Amino acid sequence: MNTSTNFDPEISNQLAAPPMTKAPRLLVISNRAPVRLVRDHGRAQVEQTVGGVGSTFLRLLDRAGGVWIAWLEGKNQPQRIELPPDNPHFTMSFTRLSERDISDYYYGACNRALWPLMHFMTQNCSFDGRQWASYCRVNQIFARAAEAEIASCDCVWVQDFHLALVPRLLRQNGHRLPIGTFWHVPWPPEQVFRVLPWRADLLRGMLGSDLIGFHTPMYVKHFVDACERILGLRVDRANGMIFHDSAVTKVGAFPLGIAVDDFRDISMTPRVRARARRIHKSLRTPIVVLSVDRLDYTKGIEERLLGFERFLELHPEYRGKVTLVLIAVPSRTRVAEYAALKRRLDELVGRVVGRFSAGGWVPIRYLYTQFSTDELLAYYQAADIALVTPLRDGMNLVAKEYVASHIGEGGVLILSEFAGAAQELTSALQINPYDIDQIADGLYKAVEMPMEERHARMAQMRQSIESNDLHSWADGFIAALMKDRSIQVDAGLSPN
């Protein structure tokens, strides 16, 4: 098959930088690939599809060399591609999953068992032995793919809950490279985690890692509790160490950052600033409130709408002056719970619009779609207030992206106390997302907030995200992985 690559120009320029010889060659393993295969007049092209974390890993691999293993959706896709296309520094290798695997492993075990469990929502969990067997089988597929590449790399970095068993599978086959795992979602309290029928298998799979990273110290504590109380392992909480099988796994908090410079630079371009002005003008309202999320029951979108409705009830003086732009990105449309959520959301939006619309003013602009980076950043700039109220979130990058992109420093961030980002963005107006009266009160405080206070709060939050950006997060995790592994070897605590 004839293939070519087509990457965003700004990313391509950064990928052209010479590799750093001292950086370890990475073997990155993730469920989804940061690219997609498209066809143009019979010619296959591989296009970059993600920003944020995916772009950072592409840069890391280009800088240091290595391999990225992932599942690439679609038929007749290439098995491997070399990137960047003009001067390859690393390889992307794609696994093959059957339709049954995708159904049982991804839409089943991952999205109907582990996803709700990790977000403390056991009422949404569905545990199916066949789906768990598929999860184990797919993890073995990824582990075998990693074994074919591992000799050419210096360390392994496994991403997220889809591949929790891979570290132990690699250890069982005798591999001794440093293995790190980063858990991008929350980790629930031990009593909640216990409902998983395969809880011990999942923990043992993860403990094949030398280092496991979470977003917050609370999630680290929950994981250590689970290892101690479910597996009966000895732990050292002060130093983040779990002892097992004559080995040790370290755990720590590595709060995920964003590419602050990229968001700021793109936001300052004339095209984005002009688009932001057009958006604000088109809404024909003095105050714009923005809500951006994947359509997911963990994001608290229904509660957010109820809170906005309560705000309009309690403060009629702001009717006609405040518009909520609700951007809901389609997600997991094959999962029944998500289709039901979409129906409820449509009905709720319709109710609020029907109840309060008057004189050409519509209280909610509802956009069920996915935007390009430029368009999304224009909405960030157009918004006077960002309403970010997940019921539970590992980090929540929307909050950080809004702070980085709203370059005028006059914006206000309303943030759920249950988002990981709340521990860093302490100058946000933090609320309990389950309490619609708190949401309404947060909106009122935001619209009434003096400009001087807005500037001070935004400046403090911008300083926070700049001090821990995406690049420092990645470099810090890799440095900790390599350091911890060498200490363990010297102390005779490994092989893991």
| Alpha-carbon span 295 to 305, nearest angstrom | 13
- Active-site entry in 89, 162, 184, 222: 184
The H helix count followed by the E strand count for the chain is 18, 19
Range list for CATH 3.40.50.2000 in the chain: 3-257+472-491, 260-467
Q: Which residue is it, tokens 């010619």?
A: 43
Could you read off the pLDDT tens digit of each residue along the chain, which spans 496 residues? 334 333 332 332 332 333 334 679 999 999 988 777 666 666 656 666 545 577 778 778 888 899 999 998 777 777 888 887 778 889 999 998 999 999 999 999 999 999 999 999 999 999 999 999 999 999 999 999 999 999 999 999 999 999 999 999 999 999 989 999 999 999 999 999 999 999 999 999 999 999 999 999 999 999 999 999 999 999 999 999 999 988 999 999 999 999 899 899 999 999 999 999 999 999 999 999 999 999 999 999 999 999 999 999 999 999 999 999 999 998 887 788 898 999 999 999 999 999 999 999 999 999 999 888 899 999 999 999 999 999 999 999 999 999 999 987 789 999 999 999 999 999 999 999 999 999 999 999 999 999 999 999 999 999 999 999 988 999 999 999 998 665 555 545 554 5
Q: Report yes or no: 320 and 283 within 8 Å, Cβ to Cβ.
A: no
What residues pair up with 214 in beta bridges, in sequence order? 253
Instruction: State residue 351 phi and psi, 5-degree precision.
Output: -65, -45
pLDDT of 407 reads: 82
pLDDT of 4 reads: 39
In this structure, which CATH number among 3.30.930.10, 3.40.47.10, 3.40.50.2000, 3.40.50.720 belongs to the domain 260-467? 3.40.50.2000
pTM tops 0.85: yes
Give the Å distances, CA to CA, from 375 to 80, 82, 271, 370, 382: 32, 30, 10, 10, 11
Is the backbone of residue 332 left (phi > 0), alpha (psi -120 to 50) or beta?
left
Comparing CA positions, the residue from 271, 316, 113 lying closest to residue 202 is: 113
pLDDT of 17 reads: 32
Q: Is 455 a catalytic residue?
A: no
Residue 45 structure tokens: 């092209």
- CATH number for the region 3-257+472-491 comes to 3.40.50.2000
| Alpha-carbon span 90 to 4, nearest angstrom | 15
Q: Is 154 a catalytic residue?
A: no
pLDDT of 21 reads: 41
* CA 117 and chain centroid, separation: 16
DSSP-assigned letters across all residues of 478-495: HHHHHHHHHHHHHHT---
- Active-site entry in 62, 210, 393, 441: 393
